[in-house]
Amino acid sequence: MSFKILDLGIAASIFLALYVLYNVSSIYIFIKKGWKSVYTFLLIYGLIRVGGQISGVGYAAAGYYEWKWLIAYLIMSAEGYFTLVLSTLYFLVKEQMIVFGKSPLMKPLVWKMSYRVLFHYSLIPANAMIIAGGCMLTGLTPGEKEYNHQLVTSKALRSVGSIIFLLNSLSVAGLTLYNYFVKRLRTKTMIVLMFIIPFITVRGIYGILSIFYDEMSYFKIQNYFDETSSAKLTIYEYTLALAMEFITAFSLLSIYWLKRWTHEVDAVPKGDAENLTDKTNEVATTYSDETSAPSAPKEHGLAYRIFSKTLIGRLVIYLKNRK
C-alpha cells in the first residue's frame, strides 16, 4: 500500500500490528475469565484501538483532504482513552475486593453515588467534550470565516475534557500509592498499577499540551502539508499518546499472566468479608493491615525503600506511624 502521508502511514501500520497481537491475548483472557471480568475493558479498548489504527492507515493512504478518516480516528482515540482510564480504577477496586472483601471506593458519597460511579460519570462528559472540540476543527483552514471562533470553542472544550481525564488518572495514581504504602495492599496488581502511573500521566499531559502547541495538534490540517511538520506530529502522537497507552494496556493485561504463574487469587470471592474462602483469607492476612499483618515488617521491597526516601514518602510514613 502506498501512503500519501508516509511517516503517518508507517507509524499507524506498526501500531495496528501491535494492537492486533494485543487483541489475540485479550481475546484469550476474555474467553477464560468471561465478560463480567475487568479484563473485558481491556478487550474493548483493544478493539477500539484497532479500529482507530485502521482509520489512521486509511487517512494516511487517502490523503490530507479525506478528513472523514481523521474524524473516525479522533472518535476512536477518545473512546479508547476513556476505556483505558476507566479500567485502571476498576482494577484497583477489584483488588480491594479480593484482598479485603470490600472496597471503600464503592461506598456512597454524594447523592448516594460511590467514588467509582462519580469517576465513571465524570469521564462521560469529558469524553464528549474532547470529541466535539476536535471535530469542530477538522477540515477547517485559517482562511475560513468561522475558523477563529471555532478555534476558541474547540480549545475550551478539549481543555476541560483533557483536564478531567488527567485529574482522574492522578486520583487513581494517588489511591494506588495510598493503598500500597499505607493500607499495605501489596499484590501483583498493585505493583503493575504503580508501574503504569508515569505512562498514563504522560498521556494525560500530552492531551493538554497538544491543544495549545500547533506542532502537537493532530487536528490542525496544516501540519500535513509540510514534511517536517508531519514528521514531528507523528513522533509526538505515537510516542506520547499511542506508545503510552499501549504500555499501560499491555501492563494491565499482563496481570492475568502474573497471577496465573504465581497462583495469586484473581477472582472476587462471593459473599461479604466474613464469608471469604480460605484461600482469600490467606491472601488478606498477608496483605491487609486490618488483620494479623505486622505493622513494621523487617524487610521492605525496592519500591518501598525508594518511596520512603522522598519527601512525600516520609510524610506518609510519619502519618502512618502516628495512628
Closest CA to 80 of 33, 122, 107, 46: 46
pLDDT digits (tens, 9 = 90+) for 284-310: 334 433 333 333 344 455 555 555 656
This prediction's pTM: 0.81
Residue 146: the pLDDT is: 77
Q: Which residues are 140's β-sheet partners?
A: none
Residue 314 lies in a domain: no
Contact, 268 vs 36, CB < 8 A?
Answer: no
Number of domains in the chain: 1
Phi, psi of 76 (to 5 degrees): -70, -35
- Give whole-number Cα distances, 80 to 44, 246, 272, 287, in Å: 8, 11, 33, 33
Residue 79: the pLDDT is: 95
Secondary structure element (H or E) that encloses residue 113, with its range: strand 113-114
Contact, 261 vs 57, CB < 8 A?
Answer: no
Hey, what's the torsion of the CAs at 8, 13, 14, 15, to 10 degrees?
90
10 Å CB burial of residue 270 (0-12, 13-18, 19+) is exposed
Residue 249 lies in a domain: yes
Q: Which three cell numbers stand for residue 230?
A: 508531519
Give the confidence band of 198 by pLDDT, cuts at 50, 70, 90.
Answer: very high
How large is the average pLDDT for residues 124-145? 82
How many residues can be counted in the chain? 323
pLDDT digits (tens, 9 = 90+) for 75-127: 999 999 999 999 999 999 999 999 999 999 999 988 889 999 999 999 999 99
- What whole-number distance in Å separates Cα of residue 278 and Cα of residue 39? 25
> How many CA within 13 A on the CB side of residue 235?
7
- What whole-number distance in Å separates Cα of residue 49 and Cα of residue 248? 13
Residue 322 lies in a domain: no
CATH number at residue 156: 1.20.1070
Amino acid in the structure at residue 232: K
- What whole-number distance in Å separates Cα of residue 320 and Cα of residue 308? 12
Amino acid in the structure at residue 198: P
Closest CA to 161 of 185, 127, 136: 127
Which of 205 and 4 is assigned the larger pLDDT? 205
Exposure b/e, 196-205, CB count within 10 A at least 16 = b:
bbebbbbbbe
- What whole-number distance in Å separates Cα of residue 49 and Cα of residue 72? 11
- What whole-number distance in Å separates Cα of residue 5 and Cα of residue 311? 48
- What whole-number distance in Å separates Cα of residue 48 and Cα of residue 51? 5
- What whole-number distance in Å separates Cα of residue 84 and Cα of residue 185? 22
- What whole-number distance in Å separates Cα of residue 72 and Cα of residue 307? 42
Domain limits at 276?
6-292
Residue 226: the pLDDT is: 72
Residue 320 lies in a domain: no
Residue 313 lies in a domain: no
Q: CA 119, 123, 126, 128 torsion: positive or negative?
A: negative
Give the confidence band of 187 by pLDDT, cuts at 50, 70, 90.
Answer: very high
pLDDT digits (tens, 9 = 90+) for 216-235: 887 676 777 777 778 898 99
Secondary structure element (H or E) that encloses residue 109, with its range: strand 108-110
- What whole-number distance in Å separates Cα of residue 92 and Cα of residue 264? 15
Contacts of 186 (CB under 8 A, 6+ apart): 180, 287, 301
Residue 10 lies in a domain: yes
Residue 302 lies in a domain: no
Residue 306 lies in a domain: no
